[in-house]
Amino acid sequence: MALTIANECRKAALDGICALLNAGQFRLLTAADVELANLTFAATAFAAASTASPSVAVSNTITADNTVTAGTIGKFDLRTSGGSSRIAGTVGVGSGDLQVSDNVVPGTATSVTCTGGLQLSLQLS
């Protein structure tokens, strides 16, 4: 018999993961781990996940970072409010775990924002 996981279980798993990020940070780093920006998640970081397969959760408002460092974003790190890393990966234009339209923070930048928010998905099978 094949393993079966109900969509409600997938949703519960993603909701639990997202709750760990409440009031946490969305860090953008160079490939050499230099922090370029550190944005803050809302007290409730993500709205409730869907029961679709894969389950999807969309972030609530993410506060901009107004003290940024210029450089090329190569990695991201999603952290708890206590600063513990929970999800990390690569960043790229058209590739990577987190895909962006532009991964360069220019020297003239005064802030970094995430106006479109983040979307996390979880496929369990």
Is 90 exceeded by the pLDDT of residue 53? no
| Residue 55 burial class via C-beta count within 10 angstroms: exposed 0-12, middle 13-18, buried 19 and up | buried
Segments forming the whole domain that contains residue 74: 7-113
Cα(first)–Cα(last) distance of the chain, in Å? Answer: 13
Domain count, the chain: 1
Read off the pLDDT of residues 111-124 as tens digits, 9 standing for 90 and up. Answer: 999 988 999 998 87
Report if residue 57 sits inside a domain: yes
Report if residue 118 sits inside a domain: no
So what's the pLDDT on residue 123?
82
Report if residue 36 sits inside a domain: yes
Read off the pLDDT of residues 80-98 as tens digits, 9 standing for 90 and up. Answer: 999 999 999 999 999 999 9
Report if residue 123 sits inside a domain: no
Report if residue 1 sits inside a domain: no
Report if residue 2 sits inside a domain: no
Report if residue 70 sits inside a domain: yes
Percent residues over pLDDT 70 in the chain? 99
Fill in the amino acid letter for 47: A
Contacts of 118 (CB under 8 A, 6+ apart): 26, 46, 58, 59, 62
Average pLDDT over residues 28-37: 98
Report if residue 44 sits inside a domain: yes
